[in-house]
Structure 1
Amino acid sequence: MIRLIHSSHSLSRFYMMAVARNWRFLSTDSTKVDEPFKIEEGETVNSPPPPSEKLFVLGGNGFVGSHVCKEALDRGLSVASLSRSGRSSINESWANNVIWHQGNLLSDDSWKEALSGVTSVISCVGGFGSNSYMYKINGTANINAIRAAAKKGVKRFVYISAADFGVVNYLLKGYYEGKRAAETELLTKFPYGGVILRPGFIHGTRRVGSMKIPLGVIGSPLEMVLQYAKPLNQVPLVGPLLTPPVNVTSVAKVAVRAATDPVFPPGIIDVYGILRYSQQKST
């Protein structure tokens, strides 16, 4: 028993001597073999934060545009807007957080400087009038914006277009021809980052001066009924007239998501797609 204890004690001394000897070879300073083993922490590399999203809304003081601005601000985005009148007349707190620019997409080129640093654009520009006027506002103005955004290196461009309404298309020829011309330009200049939303009748509370017109009184019930009647939309002539209305907040929600979500599919999103995306939770 005494021999076993003595043997064990000898092995322990031998082990400690071996460890000390090996540590002397591993150490960069042989005179410091008695210092405790230190673990050096790896250097932390602080990667730069991702660039912030800057959204530029064309026509931000209009019915759809104002809701787009508010939705974008609610999501924490930096928002700027361009319109012919400049600052919005809406007396709500969110409007103070928008950078308002005044400019005309058809004439003055000074508005192009407002695109500097912009990562995505949503165009809500459109209007009614004579056929030539409607083509300019819905077509030419948006085409100018699309080309300027492409040159500035904007990543994504969302265009609020309009659904086909069959016979109505012929009655508003300039309106729809302008819309389709802008769509073609967008798909050419932004094949991977261009999104076209084609809502039908957009309802919600519309401001006309100091008045508020509750379009949802008619639009909401029709939306509830017609969104489940998609097969009827294929009926010749009258089918397109049964396209379900969509709430302006739904359009704004999908537009902002399409402008900021890099995995949002490019291309044309019809009214049923708008309704579907608006019901999904944002990431």
Structure 2
Amino acid sequence: MSRPAAKKIVVCGGNGFLGSRICKHAVARGWDVTSISRSGEPRWDSVTSSPNPPSWSHQVSWERGDILRPSTYAPLLRGADAVVHSLGILMEADYKGLVSGRESPLAGLQKVFAATRDRGINPLERKHGEDIKPDSSNDQFSYEVMNRDSAIALAKHADEEKVKAFCYISAAGGAPILPQRYIKTKREAENTISSSFPRMRGVFPRPPLMYDSSRPITMAIAAMAGGGSVFNQLTGRYFDTFFGAAAAKPLKADTVAEAVVEALDDENVKGPIETPKLEDLASKGWRKSML
């Protein structure tokens, strides 16, 4: 009796902190995994605690492609059962400028929180394979382009290839330290993908702060956020609106990755997935791996 063909999953941003772990858990299920990113294979010491490629990585096809140039990735979506958008930015400040001293921390923060116009473009009005880069290079790494428009363009091309499920890594509610446009563009992406591509099963995980021992700074931040989560629980979630994502229990990056893969494997899962459901899905996936 022949075995069913392995599922094919394409992870855009598969060489990142979360994306690489999604690839890992998909490989563990025997899936055919392709990662697309500008640099190809990860620099492993930036996403794990070792500079050496883990054993599972050799089962991933590490492809190069630019999320703002669909012609570079569209052919790789052919035959995929699921496509994942695991990209985005937390801050619009010029990190390199801040680190090098070209821009002061104060100027960087002013830029992040300044009121601004919508800096994106409409991918739905673009032709197949047409670039979605805005006219101004200053707008290229905006919330609108990176968090919203790149995802909509990817979903558009996935739909054209008859992909069954599309996963957009969204986020738990905003936090006091992040501009409102961060979470606004995330929700706009979810809504547009759902309404514009109803044939595809849209899966929208909304992870809280994620941590892993390979990134010590995430452990410290998670510890502080965990305290905020406990405090919010003790006060009857009175501060939900103020704390936003900081009020949600932090999760290990591997927990979120396992939940994403399980969600894509379960045809009954669709729409937004908040923290409790992410934990449930990860537990369900872990139990499957133990059988």
TM-score where L is the length of structure 1: 0.72
**One of 245, 254, 258 as aligned partner of 2:259:** 254
Would you say the 8 A contact 2:21–2:257 is kept in 1? yes
Supply the AA of the counterpart residue of 1:144: A
Partner of 1:163: 172
**One of 121, 139, 144 as aligned partner of 1:135:** 144
**How far has the Cα of 1:231 moved from its partner?**
6.8
Partner of 2:28: 74
Counterpart check, 1:213 vs 2:221: no
Assess, with a 3 A threshold, how the Cα gap between structure 1 residues 174 and 239 changes in structure 2: closer, same or farther: closer
Would you say the 8 A contact 2:65–2:72 is kept in 1? yes
Counterpart check, 1:180 vs 2:187: yes
Partner of 2:41: 87
- Size of the aligned set, in residue pairs, is 229
Counterpart check, 1:269 vs 2:276: no
Partner of 2:162: 153
Q: Deviations over 1:6-41 (max 9, x none)?
A: xxxxxxxxxxxxxxxxxxxxxxxxxxxxxxxxxxxx
The 1-side partners of 2:154 and 2:234 are apart by 34
TM-score where L is the length of structure 2: 0.70
Supply the AA of the counterpart residue of 1:182: A
Partner of 1:35: none
**How far has the Cα of 1:191 moved from its partner?**
6.0
The 2-side partners of 1:180 and 1:270 are apart by 13
Assess, with a 3 A threshold, how the Cα gap between structure 1 residues 239 and 108 changes in structure 2: closer, same or farther: closer
- Deviation beyond 6 Å, 4+ runs, structure 1: none
Assess, with a 3 A threshold, how the Cα gap between structure 1 residues 245 and 230 changes in structure 2: closer, same or farther: farther
Q: Deviations over 1:50-89 (max 9, x none)?
A: 3320011110111001111111111111100111112222
Supply the AA of the counterpart residue of 1:255: V
SS of the equivalent of 2:288 reads coil
| CA RMSD, Structure 1 to Structure 2 (Å) | 2.7
Bigger shift: 231-240 or 122-131? 231-240
Considering only CA atoms, is the larger Rg found in Structure 1 or Structure 2? 1
Assess, with a 3 A threshold, how the Cα gap between structure 1 residues 251 and 61 changes in structure 2: closer, same or farther: same
Partner of 1:113: 75
The 2-side partners of 1:230 and 1:276 are apart by 22
Partner of 2:6: 52
Partner of 1:282: 288
Supply the AA of the counterpart residue of 1:148: H
Partner of 1:97: 59
Would you say the 8 A contact 1:157–1:190 is kept in 2? no
**One of 245, 248, 253 as aligned partner of 1:243:** 248
Would you say the 8 A contact 2:174–2:180 is kept in 1? no
**How far has the Cα of 1:121 moved from its partner?**
1.3
**How far has the Cα of 1:101 moved from its partner?**
1.4
SS of the equivalent of 1:50 reads coil
Supply the AA of the counterpart residue of 2:207: P
> Quick one: percent identity of the two aligned structures?
27
Counterpart check, 1:203 vs 2:211: yes
The 1-side partners of 2:223 and 2:198 are apart by 33
Assess, with a 3 A threshold, how the Cα gap between structure 1 residues 235 and 218 changes in structure 2: closer, same or farther: closer
SS of the equivalent of 1:194 reads strand
The 1-side partners of 2:153 and 2:174 are apart by 26
Partner of 1:24: none
Q: Deviations over 1:188-211 (max 9, x none)?
A: 2146611111111111135xxxxx
Assess, with a 3 A threshold, how the Cα gap between structure 1 residues 59 and 232 changes in structure 2: closer, same or farther: farther
The 1-side partners of 2:283 and 2:151 are apart by 28
**How far has the Cα of 1:266 moved from its partner?**
0.9
Partner of 1:42: none
Supply the AA of the counterpart residue of 1:256: V
Would you say the 8 A contact 1:233–1:243 is kept in 2? no
Supply the AA of the counterpart residue of 2:31: L
Would you say the 8 A contact 2:174–2:183 is kept in 1? no
